[in-house]
Amino acid sequence: MKKRTALVTGAGRGIGLAIAQKLAAENFNVAIMDIHEESAVADALASLRAAGADVLYCRADVSCAESRAAMLDQIKAKFGGLNVLVNNAGVAPRVRADILDATEESYEWVMKINLQGPYFLTQACANWMIEQKKADDSFIGCIINISSTSSTVVSVSRGEYCISKAGVSMMTQLYAARLGEFDIPVYEIRPGIIKTDMTSVVTEKYDKLIFEDGILVQNRWGFPKDIAKTAAMMARGDIAYSTGQVIEVAGGLTLQRL
């Protein structure tokens, strides 16, 4: 089968890089997008090439329409098509502020990166996938959205983040419904407490919640590789008849217990 191509946003490190590495190992071509200079992600690119992937680095800003369009032009020129979009790029608020004190500037910044950018990147990629499907009925494609348990679990010190991820959850349902006629499934992965740079600033808090307070059923941190394995299952087509589905990778965080 022709080698498929995946685009993973925010893949210079953390969850995005782990997903890109797993897809590279699964014999995908990989386009990774991040905002950093290419030299800053040189080690990440080397790890992908070592796995045998044909790799394209796209320095782009997911919140900028022109930047998104230029990135897709790069991918088209390099690979000729796109089979998998992984919407992973995202940010936490620069300042964790009580929702009674949070600013509109913080809200707008988080929403543009976490929701508006992915929403319209998905629109562009979906239309491209539809074109490919119409040209070749054997085309296989899917879209994977990385949200968060914060889409349903309240954190009053980062309301803008929670709202952005709740929006990603609705975005998943919307695109799943719209792309069904083209047999392009759309999935959502909801990570819980994952060991990344984003959570490094609250390590002490989460260590206490996990190891002392028993907030999780599985009392360990999650790791980027936990998310990557789930994304690979989706990208391979293992659950191709399950569009719109959400898989929470969170160690049982949201299970109701007495």
Q: Number of folded domains in the chain?
A: 1
Q: Tell me, yes or no, whether 229 lies in a domain.
A: yes
The predicted structure's pLDDT at residue 51 = 87
Q: What residues are labeled active site? A: 161
Q: What percent of the chain is modeled with pLDDT above 90? A: 95
Residue 150 domain-assigned (yes or no): yes
Tell me, what's the pLDDT at 1? 61
- C-alpha 80/C-alpha 1 separation (Å) is 15
Q: Beta strands of the chain (E only): which ranges?
A: 5-9, 29-34, 55-59, 84-87, 142-146, 186-191, 246-249
Q: How far is residue 195's CA from residue 208's CA, in Å, rounded to a whole number? A: 14
Q: What is the pLDDT of residue 60?
A: 98
Output 105-111 pairs: Cβ under 8 A, ≥24 positions apart: 106/160, 107/160, 107/163, 110/160, 110/161, 110/164, 111/160, 111/163, 111/164, 111/167
* CATH code of residue 185: 3.40.50.720
> Is the residue at 41 inside a domain?
yes
In a domain, 256, yes or no: no
Domain of residue 129 covers 5-249
To 5 degrees, how large is the angle CA 6–CA 74–CA 77?
Answer: 90
Q: Is the pLDDT of residue 132 over 70?
A: yes
Mean pLDDT, residues 86-114 = 97
Asked, for residue 254, whether it belongs to a domain, the answer is: no
26 neighbors 1 (Cβ within 8 angstroms): no
